[in-house]
Chain A
Amino acid sequence: MDKAQDLQTEQLPQEPLKSLDQIEAADLVVGILADLSQDGVAELCGALRTLQGNPKILVLQSFPVTPSTSAESSQEGPSIFLLPWALQAQNLSSAPFETVSTAYNSIVTLGEKVGARGCCLIVSHFESPASHWICQLVAPLLDGTADFVAPRYAFRKFEGLLNSSIISPLTRSLYGRRMQSPMGPDFGLSQQLFHTFLSGSAQNGDRSGGVNMLAALAPRVACGNFRISQAYLGARTYPPADWTIVSALLSQVLGPIFLVMEKTAACWQKARNSTPIRTLNEPAPVPQTTANVEIGHLVNSFQLGVRDLQEIWSLVLPPATLLELRKLSRLAPEQFRLPDELWARIIYDFALAHRLRTINRDHLLRSLTPLYLGWVASYAREMESSDSNAAEQRLERLAVAFETAKPYLVSRWRWPDRFNP
């Protein structure tokens, strides 16, 4: 217990500690990692003030606030305390997952210290005003109806592709819970949940048990049978795509996911069939992208990968998969289509290779880039003129393909040398 307490105090952000001397307890801790304007923060605080039961809310803002702003905001209402948060948030663009994971560690520790009933972290920029979504995220935590509130964002067919193609269907097939965004990043956590995390981390000697907390949240919640809800938060604004960092992105995101997969193998091997989770509010339709879709360069990347990365892929993928990839590489862009079953098996094979350390893990994950771009090309070609409903149905079919291929993963995971089709 003493060890756990020491660990928590070390992890606490410096600035909140100073101000916390004046705050004995809080019902809710809200961390803002997004670069919100003064008006945005004020609007968020205003929306939080509408929560029922007059809870005491601690709002931490990671981006620099001038002392006058901080003091002014603190005096706005008796139940909201706005404090600066000394977190290295400037790394959000270069290492988003590490930064968000650190922020969750800090906020969970802080929530435990002030005896909060829940905590949440705001990382994304939303198109709609805070009053439309913040209460959906935190109210279930305060009234005790959910332990984990996962975000559900407005669906746009060409946004969040890494989540749609790998993270969401993989999490669904492994852990049996249908979450739209298993890696959030805008989650709400109940007291019971972060207490479990902290006690588990203290036993493990660190905060996350050696894995990225953002990647570990959804799997641990699913394996721990916590009450999960999904809140519709509206549309997010995304930074523009940078093709040179796709490989770095894959390595940063999939590395922790595969690591968590390894740690929770006993749990996901038992899970059968997926179940939907409660959605707190209905999604509203959003306008879809109507821009021209050019997939020629994506198909070129895929073909280049098939031509030059055979040597590496042959260590990871079975011969049948390699043969199918070679056939695909000979197709013209207008005929290009990567079957869902093949894509699911590729991801499972990469997860297994990550576990077995078949090759250097960073090399492994970066070598997935041409295959991922191939999937994007195939999906974009199919969905170019489709509406969001058709795209959602298409992704549902992909998720089902992941579930159908799960026995393949389980067999290869258990007997990697014996089972190699």
Chain B
Amino acid sequence: MWQQVKQALDQSATGFMTRLAALLPGFVALVVAILISIVLAWVIGIVVRRALIGMQFDERLGRWGFSSAAEWSPRRSPTLLISTIVTCAIVLTGLLIGIAAFNSDITSSLVRSIFAYVPNIIGAIFVLVIGTIVARFVARSVLIGAVNLNLGYARLLSVGTKWMVIVVTIAMALVHLRIAPGIVELAFGILFGGIVLALALAVGLGSRELVSKQLERDTKKASAEMFEEPFRHL
């Protein structure tokens, strides 16, 4: 009896050791991949940071209208944010390559599915960046146009327009990431409709005053017998 137990234990110990020995090259490969990726990430991170500092990226970003990017950047520096993102991305890639070196079905399919998802992430980031640029441009156009038309609710219109574009952008990015598409569509419909309704109400209520002022002005004009603006610009 004791002999049989000993034999079974020997067999399991041998199997455990064999499997451990089989995993060892993969583990070494993982450690090497991580170490190489850390060194590579550190070097590339420094290069990216120096290049961005050289081109005065933080100042330029402010001029391009992305001054708020500094607010959610580490130490209020978008340069540091980008170099950190690049560094982390390289370390993550090294980790995934290292995991793939285990050569087991589970790890391979996991890595394959993660890599297959990367284009979606890149696409979503691209959509977000373009959407933010468009939102800022449109918001600024609306703000200047509305102020020049002497509309008291210019800022409200501008902010409303900006959030409409941002909501569309976020919805597009989430659909691109395939995160709960049904909920996203529903939420987008509700949110977008809500913003449009809020804007319509705000503009409608604001216009009431505007129309009454205009009518009052028209009445004054009529009583002043053909009052004509004396200014000529050209």
A and B pair up: yes
A residues contacting B by CB (< 8 A) are 96, 158-163, 238-241, 243-244, 246-247, 249, 253, 289, 291-294, 297, 300-301, 304-305, 308-309, 312, 315, 356-360, 363, 366-367, 369-370, 376, 380, 417
| Interface residue B208 (Cβ < 8 Å from any Cβ of A) | no
- The answer to whether B228 touches A360 (Cβ under 8 A) is no
- The answer to whether B150 touches A312 (Cβ under 8 A) is no
Interface of A: prevailing SS:
helix
* A312 partner, pick from B144, B145, B149, beta carbons under 8 A: B144
In the assembled complex, 14 residue pairs joining A and B whose CB atoms fall closer than 8 Å, in A order, are: A158-B230, A162-B234, A163-B234, A240-B228, A246-B233, A253-B234, A292-B227, A304-B150, A309-B143, A309-B147, A315-B65, A357-B63, A360-B140, A380-B231
Q: A308-B154, A359-B140 are in contact. Are A161 and B232 (CB under 8 A)?
A: yes
4 further contact pairs, Cβ within 8 A, besides A238-B232, A289-B230: A162-B233, A241-B232, A249-B234, A304-B150
Q: Which residue of A lies closest to B230 (CB)?
A: A291
The proximity string for B residues 61-84 relative to A, scoring 1 for CB distances below 8 Å and 0 otherwise, is: 011010000000000000000000
* A238 partner, pick from B65, B143, B155, B234, beta carbons under 8 A: B234
Q: A359-B63, A363-B140 are in contact. Are A300 and B234 (CB under 8 A)?
A: no
Chain B stretch 156-182: residues in CB contact (< 8 A) with chain A: none
In the complex, what's the smallest C-beta–C-beta distance from A167 to chain B, in angstroms?
A: 10
Instruction: Name the 9 nearest CB pairs between A and B, nearest first.
Output: A238-B232, A291-B230, A159-B232, A247-B148, A162-B233, A158-B230, A241-B229, A369-B148, A289-B230
Most buried by A among B145, B147, B228: B147
- The answer to whether B232 touches A308 (Cβ under 8 A) is no
| Interface residue B189 (Cβ < 8 Å from any Cβ of A) | no
In the complex, which residues of chain B have a beta carbon less than 8 angstroms from the beta carbon of A315?
A: 62-63, 65
* B150 partner, pick from A161, A300, A380, beta carbons under 8 A: A300
In the complex, which residues of chain A have a beta carbon less than 8 angstroms from the beta carbon of B145?
A: 247, 366
In the complex, which residues of chain A have a beta carbon less than 8 angstroms from the beta carbon of B193?
A: none
Most buried by B among A159, A244, A297, A308: A308
Chain B stretch 132-153: residues in CB contact (< 8 A) with chain A: 137, 140-141, 143-145, 147-150, 152
What number of B residues sit within 8 Å (CB to CB) of A? 26
* B144 partner, pick from A240, A297, A363, beta carbons under 8 A: A363
- Compute how far the CA of A159 lies from the CA of B149 in the bound complex, rounded to whole angstroms: 22
- The answer to whether B144 touches A309 (Cβ under 8 A) is yes
In the complex, which residues of chain A have a beta carbon less than 8 angstroms from the beta carbon of B62?
A: 315
- Compute how far the CA of A96 lies from the CA of B149 in the bound complex, rounded to whole angstroms: 22
- Compute how far the CA of A240 lies from the CA of B234 in the bound complex, rounded to whole angstroms: 10
In the complex, which residues of chain B have a beta carbon less than 8 angstroms from the beta carbon of A304?
A: 147, 150, 152, 154
* A367 partner, pick from B144, B155, B227, beta carbons under 8 A: B144
- The answer to whether B230 touches A305 (Cβ under 8 A) is no
In the complex, which residues of chain B have a beta carbon less than 8 angstroms from the beta carbon of A241?
A: 229, 231-233
In the complex, which residues of chain A have a beta carbon less than 8 angstroms from the beta carbon of B150?
A: 297, 300-301, 304
- Compute how far the CA of A342 lies from the CA of B172 in the bound complex, rounded to whole angstroms: 46
A-B contact count (CB 8 A): 91
Q: Which residue of B lies closest to A156 (CB)?
A: B232
In the complex, which residues of chain B have a beta carbon less than 8 angstroms from the beta carbon of A253?
A: 234
Q: A291-B228, A301-B150, A366-B148 are in contact. Are A308 and B143 (CB under 8 A)?
A: yes
- The answer to whether B147 touches A249 (Cβ under 8 A) is no
Q: Which residue of A lies closest to B155 (CB)?
A: A308
Q: Which residue of A lies closest to B137 (CB)?
A: A360
Q: Which residue of B lies closest to A241 (CB)?
A: B229
In the complex, what's the smallest C-beta–C-beta distance from A88 to chain B, in angstroms?
A: 20
In the complex, which residues of chain B have a beta carbon less than 8 angstroms from the beta carbon of A289?
A: 230
Most buried by A among B143, B144, B224, B228: B144
- The answer to whether A376 touches B231 (Cβ under 8 A) is yes
- Compute how far the CA of A160 lies from the CA of B229 in the bound complex, rounded to whole angstroms: 14
Chain B stretch 174-233: residues in CB contact (< 8 A) with chain A: 224, 227-233
- The answer to whether B63 touches A249 (Cβ under 8 A) is no
- Compute how far the CA of A240 lies from the CA of B233 in the bound complex, rounded to whole angstroms: 9
In the complex, what's the smallest C-beta–C-beta distance from B123 to chain A, in angstroms?
A: 27
- Compute how far the CA of A376 lies from the CA of B229 in the bound complex, rounded to whole angstroms: 12
- Compute how far the CA of A145 lies from the CA of B190 in the bound complex, rounded to whole angstroms: 75
- The answer to whether A158 touches B232 (Cβ under 8 A) is yes
Q: Which residue of A lies closest to B56 (CB)?
A: A417
- The answer to whether B147 touches A305 (Cβ under 8 A) is yes
- Compute how far the CA of A159 lies from the CA of B231 in the bound complex, rounded to whole angstroms: 6
In the complex, what's the smallest C-beta–C-beta distance from A371 to chain B, in angstroms?
A: 11
- The answer to whether B154 touches A161 (Cβ under 8 A) is no
In the complex, which residues of chain A have a beta carbon less than 8 angstroms from the beta carbon of B63?
A: 315, 356-359
The proximity string for B residues 90-110 relative to A, scoring 1 for CB distances below 8 Å and 0 otherwise, is: 000000000000000000000
In the complex, which residues of chain B have a beta carbon less than 8 angstroms from the beta carbon of A370?
A: 147-148
In the complex, which residues of chain B have a beta carbon less than 8 angstroms from the beta carbon of A247?
A: 144-145, 148
In the complex, what's the smallest C-beta–C-beta distance from A385 to chain B, in angstroms?
A: 13
In the complex, which residues of chain B have a beta carbon less than 8 angstroms from the beta carbon of A297?
A: 150
In the complex, what's the smallest C-beta–C-beta distance from B221 to chain A, in angstroms?
A: 10
- The answer to whether A246 touches B148 (Cβ under 8 A) is yes
In the complex, which residues of chain B have a beta carbon less than 8 angstroms from the beta carbon of A305?
A: 147
- Compute how far the CA of A315 lies from the CA of B63 in the bound complex, rounded to whole angstroms: 7
In the complex, which residues of chain B have a beta carbon less than 8 angstroms from the beta carbon of A158?
A: 230-232
In the complex, which residues of chain A have a beta carbon less than 8 angstroms from the beta carbon of B59?
A: 417
In the complex, which residues of chain B have a beta carbon less than 8 angstroms from the beta carbon of A239?
A: 232
- Compute how far the CA of A133 lies from the CA of B6 in the bound complex, rounded to whole angstroms: 123
Most buried by A among B140, B233, B234: B233
* B234 partner, pick from A160, A356, A360, A366, beta carbons under 8 A: A160
In the complex, what's the smallest C-beta–C-beta distance from B88 to chain A, in angstroms?
A: 32
- The answer to whether B141 touches A363 (Cβ under 8 A) is yes
- Compute how far the CA of A22 lies from the CA of B152 in the bound complex, rounded to whole angstroms: 63
In the complex, what's the smallest C-beta–C-beta distance from A126 to chain B, in angstroms?
A: 15
In the complex, which residues of chain A have a beta carbon less than 8 angstroms from the beta carbon of B141?
A: 363
In the complex, which residues of chain A have a beta carbon less than 8 angstroms from the beta carbon of B227?
A: 291-292, 294
